[in-house]
Amino acid sequence: MEYKNILFDVEDGVATITFNRPKALNAMNAETVAEIFDAATRCKEDDSIKAIILTGSGDKAFVAGADISEMQDMRPSEALAFMEKGHETWRLIETMPKPSIAAINGFALGGGTEISLACDMRFASENARFGQPEIMIGLIPGWGGTQRLTRIIGMGRAKELVMAGVQIDAQRAYDIGLVNRVYPADQLMEETKKFAKKLAGMPGFAIKMAKHSINFGYDLSLDSANRLETECCAQCFSTDDQKEGMKAFIEKRKPNFVGY
């Protein structure tokens, strides 16, 4: 697929997907969502890609939401199709056996906050702003903002953002656990790439099991979730990386992981 709305780049095992509609503050139209789905599928299927970064072009916005001009005249059936494609795409990112980081370099509103919530981690620039302002245009979040956001920051805080359309800055987002790290704007990409490369060099199968155990254990009872974790951990003993990691520890040297 040829991309018109995103950039796709791979370097040292790290794929960077960049929302690239700066004139619309990287707002996502249906074509953008389809391109993100295609790029995420490439990331999942290409064994040379070990970690993924999502970011926005320009210095003002990560993603200012779904494209309001495109949504304005949608019929319910069109809105449903748009919403379902978004959900399918975010879920692909959320469940793929590779780590993802959203590098949030400005406004992350509506669908912008929502796609970042599907990533494993969120790193923000000091000028980032988060919010679910859909209520201001007569909607509620349609891409997981009432669900993933609530799971990450809790019900009371999520309701403040969703029901009152309150926007928060990067420091507040850090304080309530919405973002993992905050950097000066000119350091965000460098630091995110450094961290993504570190993740790319980790034992790949163990990364996959860690993500699987956290994602799918979250909604289970503690007993079932611990059982899932046990199975995932036990499977790691089938890998070369487990043998190498433990051998290197005993021999007091750095491990050379192969990813399986």
Shortest gap between Cβ of 111 and ligand DAK (angstroms)?
A: 4
Question: Is 68 or 233 the residue whose CB approaches ligand DAK more closely?
Answer: 68
Shortest gap between Cβ of 134 and ligand DAK (angstroms)?
A: 5
- Separation CA 244–CA 247 (nearest Å): 5
Q: Are 50 and 13 in contact (CB under 8 A)?
A: yes
- Of 85, 108, 77, nearest to 32 (Cα)? 85
Q: Which of 14, 53, 83, 189 binds ligand DAK (CB under 6 A)?
A: 83
- Separation CA 166–CA 194 (nearest Å): 32
Is residue 144 close enough to count as binding ligand DAK by CB under 6 A? no
Joined tokens for residue 225: 């979730």
Q: Which of 6, 14, 25, 36 binds ligand DAK (CB under 6 A)?
A: 25
Say whether 114 is catalytic.
Answer: yes
Shortest gap between Cβ of 213 and ligand DAK (angstroms)?
A: 30
Closest chain position to ligand DAK (CB): 110
Question: Where are any strands of DSSP class E within 24-138?
Answer: 51-56, 61-63, 100-104, 107-109, 121-125, 129-131
* φ/ψ (deg, to 5) at 208: -60, -45
* Residues assigned a catalytic role: 114, 134
Q: Give the footprint of ligand DAK on this chain (CB under 6 A).
A: 24-25, 27, 64-69, 79, 82-83, 86, 107, 109-111, 133-134, 137, 139, 142-143
